[in-house]
Structure 1
Amino acid sequence: MEEIAERRLGIPRPVSQQSVSTALALDGELDADALNDFLDHVFAPSQTET
């Protein structure tokens, strides 16, 4: 998702990650541990990063 937002819309990856994290923290129904585990998997390092 972040790569598409960055390439197509010019939205930096950290902005996308913060937006998704905030939305899930505010509106999601996951406890803190489950949320952090989920985000760790979703926000794996970009393949374009070195």
Structure 2
Amino acid sequence: MFRNQQGESMMVVKKAGTFPDARYTILNIRTGKETEHSYPALVRKEIGK
């Protein structure tokens, strides 16, 4: 579990593939929406931009 730049609680719920090409499904705990992101996007904290 972690927080994005806006302070929303997020949680990784699924991983598809292997590092570094893996895609991660992220659940926004407040809204209940799931989105898919690559590892570099998670590291650069681009979620929510």
Q: TM exceeds 0.5?
A: no
Higher helix share: 1
Relative contact order higher in (CA < 8 Å, ≥ 6 apart): 2
Bigger Cα Rg = 1
**TM-score, normalising length from structure 1?**
0.31
Higher strand share: 2
